[in-house]
Amino acid sequence: MNVQSVEQIWQMAYPDFVAFIDQDNSPPGGEPTISWWIERAGISADSHVLDLACNTGFSSRTISRRTGCTGAGLDLSAMSIAAARAASIAPIFDGRLDYRIGDAASLPWSAGEFSHVVAGCCFGFISDRERALTETARVLRPGGKLCVSALAYIDTPPASLLDDLQQCLGYRPAPARTVSFWREFFALHFDVAESWVEPLPINSEDELRDAAVAHMLRHQHRFDGLSVEQREATLVRLFRDRLVFNENRRYQTCCRWVLNVRSN
C-alpha cells in the first residue's frame, strides 16, 4: 500500500493494517493451537484445508509446511491476500496453496471440496456468521472437520474498553459471546469432537512495548519509504492495539474446538 499520510495509517482497517506491518495474524493460542488442530483433527498430507478469513495466511502456511497438505485461503482484505500470496510462493509450498479475495458468507468453492476448515476466532468478526457457518458446512466433505479457536467472554468488560476495541477493530465485540454462546452457534451444523478451554496470557506494558519495537525493527524493510512521522504513527498504533487487546484478555478465555460436520 502506498501510504501518503499519517492519517491513512490511523484510518486503515485492522486487517489491512496487519498486512501493512507484515504481521502474521495467528489464531488465539498461536502455534500450539495449530499443533493441537493438526493432531486432534488428523490433518495430514492427504488433507485439503480451507483457511477461512485467513488474513495473511499464517494458519494454512504453517499447517501445509508441517503436514504437506494442500490448501486455500479466503479474506475480504485485498492487502492481506496479497501478503498471503507473496508468502506462499516459497519453494517449500510447491504451489500447494491458493489464496483468494472473497466473503466467508459466499464461498467460491464446490460442495464437499475440503477435508478441513480452520477458522481461528474469525466468526466473531464475520457480520453474517450464520450464513458463513452454513457455507463452511457446505464445502466440507462428509466426515469433514472445522477447527476453531474462539474467544469467549467470561466477564463483562467496561464500556470504555469496548469503545477502545471498536476503535481498533472497526466493530464492537459483544460480551454475550460466552462459551455457551459459541457452543450453541456451532451446534447449528456441527458436533463437538474435541475441546479445550484455557486462559489467555496477560503481558506487562513493557513487554508489549518491547515486542512492538522489535516487530518494527524486524520488518523495517516494510517501512523504508515512510517518513519519520509515519513510522512513529505505525509504532504508536501497533502498541495501542496490543495494549487494548491485552486488557481485553482479562475478560476472555480461549476455546479450542474440533467439530465434525453433521450429515444431512
The span from the CA of 42 to the CA of 252, in Å, is 28
Per-residue pLDDT of the chain in tens (264 residues, 90 and over written 9) = 577 799 999 999 999 999 899 988 899 999 999 999 999 999 999 999 999 999 999 999 999 999 999 999 999 999 999 999 999 999 999 999 999 999 999 999 999 999 999 999 999 989 999 999 999 999 999 999 999 999 999 999 999 999 999 999 998 999 999 999 999 999 999 999 999 999 999 999 999 999 999 999 999 988 988 999 999 999 999 999 999 999 999 999 999 999 999 976
Q: At a CB cut-off of 8 Å and minimum separation 6, what does 202 contact?
A: 246, 249, 250
Alpha-carbon distances, residue 53 vs 5, 42, 91, 100, 203 (angstroms): 28, 21, 24, 10, 26
CA 58, distance to chain mean position in Å, is: 8
The superfamily (CATH) of domain 6-261 is Vaccinia Virus protein VP39 (3.40.50.150)
